[in-house]
Each structure stands twice: as C-alpha cells, then as structure tokens.
C-alpha cells in the first residue's frame, strides 16, 4: 500500500500527504474533463514540436505527491507475465546488462517539451531478448514503487528508442525524476514513461493504468494530441 493511501490514524503527516495526493489527482482529472491544452491540431512526427506544446530548458517535476525513495540495495525489477523467461533483477543484475546511450526529446501532457535529453540505460530490445515474450503477448503493464501503473502496446514498447534509463545528462537519475530506474518511451506523452519502475508485465490483452482509467487517452500520441479520452 502506498504511504499516501494509509488511514488518518497513521499520523497527521501521512494524512497531509494523502490530502495533497488527492488534490493533485483531482486537478489532473479536471484537466481531462476541461480538455486542458487541446488545440484541435495534429501534425506529422517530422514536425519536431507536437501541437500545443511549448519548449522548456528545465525539467518540471510532476508526480502523485509521493516520491518513493528506492535505495539501490533494495531495488528489484520483476519482468513477468506472458514471457518464456521471467526474471527479477537487482541493481547489480540490471547494471550487468548491456548499457547504451541515447538522445531523445520528451513531451508532457501538461504542454511542455524538452529537446535533446541524453540518457543511459538498457535498451528495451535487450529486455525483449532476455525475457522472450510469447507470440500471443500484445501489451505491457508497468507498476511503480509508488503504486502508479500505466500501459502500452507491445509494439510501442519495442521501438528502438525505448529504454529503461538510470542516468540523465551524465548523472544518476534523481529520485524526483524517477530514479533509480524509469521507463523511457519518448514518442508518447511522458505519463507512459513510468517512474520508479518495479514491475513490467507482458500481457495478452490490454489493461488500462492509473491515468488511463481517469480520463486520459489510452494511446497518448503527442502529434495526434491524444491527451484525453
């Protein structure tokens, strides 16, 4: 259970965190109902900045009001479901996999974009080779250490620009941005790139995640402005 979901009798600090979390969630659900940021435009991916986005040079922090602290010694990433070789990786096991550098843009549903982010991590192609999804696998579900979930089609996840990243701009990924490890799926709105990832489940059917069940689009293509359902 998430710390923010504990009952009030666990103490005033936990209660306050829960109130902040609920307020943040409610505000983003309001954005969905109001269609915040929608311009009604679409564009081809060749247009680098998707419709309705603005460029930033910092990296805004957005989460559910809780930033779990996951020491590397306690880190575990389970990869399971419809795969031939389910695994659970600790930090050393994760870092023993082939490491690669990548450069990509990122786009947040709250209308900001940041160009040319330098990442280091493990390619999803490496993960696929490791666990060997069954032919009937069509989707993946991510679970995070703050109990957040989100979903993708397997073909979206298997794209060559997708990674599990641990470093950004030459430094370890900070806690506030999803460290020690987060998903990176740069061609879709950033809520699909789950922070603090702890489990990746391959599935034979789709299952909507946290925001997808709260009014956000299930596909999340920035160039089609798929912000909300």
Q: What is the pLDDT of residues 155-209, one digit of tens each?
A: 999 999 999 999 999 999 999 999 999 999 999 999 999 999 999 999 999 999 9
Determine the pLDDT at residue 17: 41
Determine the pLDDT at residue 29: 63
Determine the pLDDT at residue 34: 55
Roughly how many angstroms between the first and final C-alpha of the chain, as a whole number? 28
Residue 216 near residue 227, CB atoms below 8 Å: yes
Q: How high does pLDDT run on average in the chain? A: 88
Determine the pLDDT at residue 7: 31
Task: Specify whether the backbone of 18 is left (phi greater than 0), alpha (psi in -120 to 50) or beta.
Answer: alpha
Q: What is the pLDDT of residues 11-26, one digit of tens each?
A: 443 343 454 456 555 6
Residue 33's SS3 state is helix
Q: Is 3's pLDDT higher than 50?
A: no
Q: What is the pLDDT of residues 100-154, one digit of tens each?
A: 999 999 999 999 999 999 999 999 999 999 999 999 999 999 999 999 999 999 9
Distance CA 90, CA 72 (A): 8
Q: What is the pLDDT of residues 32-84, one digit of tens each?
A: 565 556 677 888 888 999 999 999 999 988 766 678 999 999 999 999 999 99
Q: Residue 172 CB: number of other CB atoms within 10 A?
A: 12
Determine the pLDDT at residue 6: 32
Distances (CA, A) of 122 to 32, 126, 131, 164, 165: 33, 7, 14, 5, 6
């Amino acid at each position: 259970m998430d710390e923010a979901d504990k009952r009030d009798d666990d103490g005033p600090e936990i209660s306050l965190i829960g109130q902040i979390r609920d307020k943040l969630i409610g505000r983003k659900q309001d954005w969905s109902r109001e269609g915040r940021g929608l311009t009604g435009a679409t564009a081809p991916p060749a247009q680098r900045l998707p419709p309705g986005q603005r460029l930033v040079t910092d990296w805004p922090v957005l989460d559910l009001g809780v930033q779990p602290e996951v020491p590397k010694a306690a880190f575990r990433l389970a990869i399971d479901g419809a795969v031939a070789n389910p695994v659970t990786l600790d930090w050393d096991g994760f870092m023993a996999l082939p490491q690669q550098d990548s450069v990509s843009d990122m786009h947040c549903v709250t209308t900001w974009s940041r160009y040319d982010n330098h990442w280091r991590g493990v390619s999803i192609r490496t993960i696929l080779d490791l666990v060997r999804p069954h032919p009937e696998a069509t989707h993946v579900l991510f679970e995070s250490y703050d109990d957040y979930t989100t979903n993708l089609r397997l073909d979206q996840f298997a794209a060559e620009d997708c990674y599990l990243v641990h470093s950004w701009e030459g430094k370890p990924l900070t806690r506030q941005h999803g460290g020690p490890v987060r998903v990176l799926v740069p061609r879709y709105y950033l809520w699909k790139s789950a922070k603090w990832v702890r489990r990746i489940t391959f599935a034979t059917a789709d299952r909507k995640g946290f925001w997808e069940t709260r009014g956000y689009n299930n596909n999340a293509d920035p160039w089609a402005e798929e912000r909300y359902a």
